[in-house]
Amino acid sequence: MKVLVTGGVAFRGSHIVYALTADGHQVAVIGDLSTGSESNMNQRAEFHRVGLTDFDATGTVFASVKPQFVSHLGAQTSLRLSIKNPVYDVTVNVLGSINVPR
């Protein structure tokens, strides 16, 4: 199955990517590395360094990957940042989620 994981280089997402690739799925990852790390990248997955708020780039990735399933884990998770900059928090977590193609 073709699976796309948003946030697939952060802690939880990277574990999901490893499990999916171990089960033989074809996996693509969208991540901007704001909280994830290149060291978390699964070399068997196709990585796209894209932020979910980059609407055009996100749409291009979805159009090229054509996933059968999406695991959406991409988010801004820093409590400090959400207090310091709530507009950014809403932009990433709400508008970014809306941007994940249905």
Kindly give the confidence (pLDDT) of every residue in the chain, 102 residues in length, as a single tens digit, with 9 standing for 90 and above. 999 999 999 999 999 999 999 999 999 999 999 888 888 899 999 999 999 999 999 999 999 999 999 999 999 999 999 999 999 999 999 999 998 986
Q: Domains plus CATH for the chain?
A: 2-99 (3.40.50.720)
Q: How far is CA 66 from the centre of its chain?
A: 15
On the CB side of 22, how many CA atoms lie within 13 Å of its CA? 6
Confidence (pLDDT) at 36: 80
- pTM for the whole thing? 0.91
Contact 27, 9 (CB under 8 A): no
Tokens of 60: 């291009």
Other Cβ atoms less than 10 A from the Cβ of 74: the count is: 31
Distance CA 67, CA 62 (A): 7
- Please state, in angstroms and rounded to a whole number, the distance separating the CA atoms of residues 39 and 31: 13
DSSP of 36-89, one letter per residue? S-GGG--TTSEEEE--TT-HHHHHHHHHHH--SEEEE------HHHHHH-HHHH
What local confidence, expressed as pLDDT, does residue 102 receive? 60
